[in-house]
């Protein structure tokens, strides 16, 4: 997350704001199972905050009448499966791990992690992004092979993940214990300084003579985490490769990334039978040509699982541009942050759901991740980057935890749409209805509809289910998740 991008974010009306500390909290985490009794379970969060992931009265599924409504009618084809979903969550940055591990006592920490990751009693986050070395949300600058100026280590004999063992690895082990199948994506902000043109972690590019050593750096990282009992499902080659900053960062244009993957990282992973996915780009929606140029090279493309995107510029439809040309490659949404630049819960709820959760899924993303999972009340600890970003939750000095709007937006997906679910075909309503939606079928056969009311009035809609149907009236400025069998 970058200061230089805050103005862009604000100008695009990226309304991302905090839930006030005094707002109601979810006091009904698990409603009665209505899905086996021809009923639809409903969960709602509205802009007024009178409902925060609140279970609403269940809806009856009834026979479709001859006078079924022609307006706000949603037809869902559950037999037409689109992309397979891998999960929803946020980033366990160094700052987030530090707060969870050091600022909460054992009871508080266990309660928070259970709330975030337990599928039954919590919101069941199923995907995490972590940083390989330091980012702009770490306690200090570091990589796993830092050396005094002028020294090199071609064989990486001094490689060590010791700094992660203070907070990040212990917290991840606790998460894996709660959710053994959680997917974890790892991303570097910078190669070690001695490998770079700048000779420092801030800015510069990877020297071509160290492409081989840097490929081995990834392998050593995966091996070190495996030894800790933590499996890394995917890596992206470089965080925001078109952005150099005062914090750890590294420029890697598309031709350099293509060369690195095609001639070094990809062949090395293949030779070692490494199954961890390689993801491209990991930057904003405004440059879809970057991943397309690499995927156009068949030798590089064979090693690549997909492309990752952020939302600090451009439009979510960029993901469909890539999908249309390479439908066999995955798409991943990996970062957006809320912050103090906007302060309206309702606007933030609607923007996040429209663009990040409903929007990315409808544009072929297999996941959706927000930025810091936790920050403190001063928006830190921070490391020369964004000075007014917000975590999914805020951890105060006294251990009090505030659930911000991002918590609820993730929850409306992560608690109900499980890994292995498929997005299914559904008819879009006209923009004039101010209703947006996306539908899924879970591995257990349960069906999910997530629907957003962008308008300021109640909106009634009907879901057609062959010979049956159900209707529901959604609050203004609200998101509802509906689940049935």
β-strands 277-284, 478-484 pairing: unpaired
Query: Which residue's entry shows tokens 């199948």?
Result: 181
Tell me which residue of 451, 443, 346, 427 sits closest to 42, measured CA to CA. Answer: 451
Q: Which two tokens stand for residue 349?
A: 């709820």
Q: What is the dihedral of CA 300, 301, 303, 307, to 10 degrees?
A: 120
Burial environment of residue 57 by CB neighbours within 10 A (0 to 12, 13 to 18, 19 or more):
exposed
Handedness of CA 2, 7, 13, 18 (dihedral sign): positive
Identify the active-site residue in 86, 120, 335, 377: 335
Q: How far apart are the first and last CA of the chain?
A: 40
Question: Among all chains, which residue has been given the structure tokens 């706000």?
Answer: 72
228 a catalytic residue: no
Residue 190, CB half-sphere, CA atoms under 13 Å: how many?
Answer: 30
- Alpha-carbon distance 197 to 207, whole Å? 6
Among this protein's residues, is 335 annotated catalytic? yes
10 Å Cβ neighbour count for 11?
8
The structure tokens listed for 218 are 């990834």
Tokens of 336: 């957006």
What tokens appear for 335 in the block? 């970062």
Q: In what order do the strands lie in the sheet with 393-395?
A: 374-375, 393-395, 401-403
Closest to 321 measured CA to CA, from 313, 305, 312, 309: 309
C-alpha 63/C-alpha 213 separation (Å) is 65
Among candidate residues 86, 140, 240, 244, the one labeled active-site is 240
Cβ–Cβ contacts within 10 Å for residue 317, how many? 12
Q: Which residues are catalytic?
A: 240, 335
């Amino acid at each position: 997350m970058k200061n230089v991008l805050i103005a862009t974010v604000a100008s695009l009306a990226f309304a991302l704001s905090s839930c006030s500390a005094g707002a109601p909290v979810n006091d009904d985490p698990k409603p009665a199972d209505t899905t086996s009794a021809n009923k639809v379970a409903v969960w709602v969060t509205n802009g007024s905050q009178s409902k925060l992931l609140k279970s609403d009265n269940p809806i009856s599924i009834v026979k479709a009448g001859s006078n079924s409504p022609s307006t706000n009618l949603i037809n869902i084809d559950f037999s037409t499966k689109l992309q397979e979903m891998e999960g929803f969550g946020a980033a366990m940055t160094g700052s987030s791990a530090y707060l969870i591990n050091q600022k909460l006592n054992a009871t508080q920490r266990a309660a928070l992690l259970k709330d975030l990751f337990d599928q039954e009693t919590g919101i069941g986050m199923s995907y995490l992004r972590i940083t390989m070395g330091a980012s702009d949300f770490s306690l200090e600058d570091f990589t796993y092979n830092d050396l005094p100026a002028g020294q090199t280590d071609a064989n990486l004999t001094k490689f060590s993940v010791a700094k992660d063992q203070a907070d990040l690895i212990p917290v991840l082990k606790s998460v894996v214990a709660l959710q053994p199948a959680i997917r974890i994506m790892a991303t570097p902000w910078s190669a070690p300084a001695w490998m770079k043109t700048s000779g420092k972690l801030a800015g510069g590019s990877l020297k071509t003579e160290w492409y081989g050593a840097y490929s081995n750096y990834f392998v050593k990282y995966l091996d070190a985490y495996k030894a800790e009992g933590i499996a890394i499902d995917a890596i992206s080659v470089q965080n925001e490769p078109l952005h150099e900053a005062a914090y750890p960062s590294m420029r890697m244009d598309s031709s350099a990334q293509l060369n690195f993957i095609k001639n070094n990282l990809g062949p090395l992973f293949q030779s070692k039978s490494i199954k961890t996915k390689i993801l491209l780009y990991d930057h904003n929606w405004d440059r879809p040509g970057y991943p397309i140029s690499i995927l156009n090279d068949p030798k590089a493309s064979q090693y690549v699982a997909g492309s990752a995107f952020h939302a600090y510029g451009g439009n979510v439809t960029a993901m469909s541009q890539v999908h249309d040309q390479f439908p066999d490659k995955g798409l991943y949404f990996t970062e957006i942050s809320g912050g103090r630049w906007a302060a309206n819960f309702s606007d933030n709820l609607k923007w996040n759901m429209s663009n990040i959760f409903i929007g990315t899924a409808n544009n072929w993303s297999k996941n959706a991740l927000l930025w810091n999972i936790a920050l403190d009340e001063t928006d830190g600890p921070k490391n020369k980057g964004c000075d007014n970003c917000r975590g999914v939750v805020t951890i105060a000095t006294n251990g009090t935890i505030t659930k911000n709007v991002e918590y609820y937006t993730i929850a409306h997906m992560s608690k109900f749409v499980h890994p292995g679910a498929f997005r299914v075909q559904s008819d879009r309503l006209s923009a004039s209805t101010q209703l947006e939606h996306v539908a899924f079928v879970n591995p257990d056969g349960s069906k999910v509809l997530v629907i957003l009311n962008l308008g300021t009035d109640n909106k009634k809609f009907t879901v057609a289910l062959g010979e049956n149907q159900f209707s529901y009236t959604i609050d203004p400025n609200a998101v509802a998740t509906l689940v049935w069998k």
